[in-house]
Amino acid sequence: MAGADLVYLDGEYVAKATATIPLFDHGYLYGDGVFEGVRAYNGRIFRLDPHLDRLFFSARALGFQMNSLTLENVRRAVLELCRRNDHANGYIRITLSRGTGLGLDPAHIEQRPRLVISTQELRLYTTDSYNEGLTMVTCATRVPSPDAIDPRIKGTGKYINNILAKMEANRAGAGEGLMLNQQGHVAEATGDNIFLVKDGRISTPPTSAGCLKGITRQAAMELAEQQLRLSVREENLTLYDVYTADECFLTGTAAEIIPGVMLDQRPIGSGKPGDVTRRLIGAFRALTGESGTPF
């Protein structure tokens, strides 16, 4: 029914208010799950297939036994839930846990992945933040090392680091927190990828630095190269590079593209959103307004 507040839970569409998962769900107990955040614009889901590909790659990398759960099953469920909830614009959360059972050893649990899909409104930043830009601080909390868990895996458990870093940023009264890796290279913000503009060239950390291979990150890189005719390079960056950049912007599904104008009380460039950033925001909004998977 259109307008209903439903979630998809293991093959059924149930009321969000009464939806439950077992006490011994492995995602709940141990953070043993993977997830995706997707965005709907005007009745179309932006880059749904790349998000689902990443979900399944993450599950495969963690050794989930997918059984009969297929990418097409999940795709149909996402589209149908959006139709039933009349969710033309907003956020879509897809969460997949390994299975059910007490104890760390996957061999001793019921390895039937639990799929939960929900729709909701999610606004990370105010309108003023997009117009004026975010102030940021460098966080003491580091991203996990790639030799511990590959940053391309979008796993639920590893986001405790991002949560702790976000709490640091909140305590400092900053709009966002910047996270470094163990070598001191810039990795990502607490919920977004980071880009710098310097002398007409755009740079962003490689995934080997500890950042997620973001879907909006990829869209921003394509728009910069194809529409703005600017080169984009993946390279290791330090705080010096951020402090001395001409512009900075962050990207993410929920954040979209948003300027970063200050780090650690140092203005970035003019201390205001730059021309490249503004042009990219406009190009991204045009892209999301005209593309996507209809439902």
pLDDT tens sequence across 234-285? 999 999 999 999 999 999 999 999 999 999 999 999 999 999 999 999 999 9
CATH topology of domain 127-290: D-amino Acid Aminotransferase; Chain A, domain 2 (3.20.10)
Q: Which amino acid would we find at residue 95?
A: T
Q: Are strands 134-138 and 176-180 parallel, antiparallel or unpaired?
A: parallel
Q: Which amino acid would we find at residue 250?
A: L
What CATH number does the domain located at 6-120 have?
3.30.470.10
Question: What is the C-alpha to C-alpha distance for residues 285 and 240, in angstroms, rounded to an integer?
Answer: 31
The answer to whether 41 touches 292, Cβ cutoff 8 Å, is yes
Question: Tens of pLDDT along 85-131?
Answer: 999 999 999 999 999 999 999 999 999 999 999 999 888 788 899 99
What pLDDT shows up at residue 229? Answer: 96
Paired tokens of 184: 């001191």
What pLDDT shows up at residue 126? Answer: 87
Mean pLDDT score, 35-52: 97
Question: What is the C-alpha to C-alpha distance for residues 44 and 172, in angstroms, rounded to an integer?
Answer: 37
Report the phi/psi class of residue 42: left, alpha or beta, with left for phi > 0 and alpha for psi in -120 to 50: left
Q: Which residues of 78-87 are buried (b: 16+ CB within 10 A; e: fewer)?
A: bbebbebbeb
Residue with tokens 């004026």: 132
What pLDDT shows up at residue 123? Answer: 80
What pLDDT shows up at residue 18? Answer: 93
- pLDDT for 1 beyond 80: no
- Give me the residue spans of the domains in the chain: 6-120, 127-290
Residue with tokens 């846990």: 97
Question: What is the C-alpha to C-alpha distance for residues 209 and 70, in angstroms, rounded to an integer?
Answer: 31
- pLDDT for 200 beyond 80: yes
What are the C-alpha distances in Å from 229 to residues 49, 206, 259?
Answer: 26, 21, 20
Q: Are strands 6-9 and 12-15 parallel, antiparallel or unpaired?
A: antiparallel
The answer to whether 246 touches 198, Cβ cutoff 8 Å, is yes
Question: What is the C-alpha to C-alpha distance for residues 204 and 207, in angstroms, rounded to an integer?
Answer: 9
Question: What is the C-alpha to C-alpha distance for residues 164 and 170, in angstroms, rounded to an integer?
Answer: 10
Residue 270: CB atoms within 10 Å: 10
Question: Tens of pLDDT along 265-276?
Answer: 999 999 999 999
The answer to whether 33 touches 96, Cβ cutoff 8 Å, is yes
pTM of the model: 0.94
Question: Tens of pLDDT along 144-191?
Answer: 998 899 999 999 999 999 999 999 999 999 999 999 999 999 999 999
The H-assigned helical ranges of the chain are 26-30, 48-61, 71-84, 127-132, 160-171, 215-226, 239-243, 275-290
What pLDDT shows up at residue 2? Answer: 47
- Residue % of the chain over a pLDDT of 70: 99
Mean pLDDT score, 67-78: 95
pLDDT, mean over the chain: 95
Q: Which amino acid would we find at residue 191?
A: G
What pLDDT shows up at residue 3? Answer: 53
What pLDDT shows up at residue 4? Answer: 66
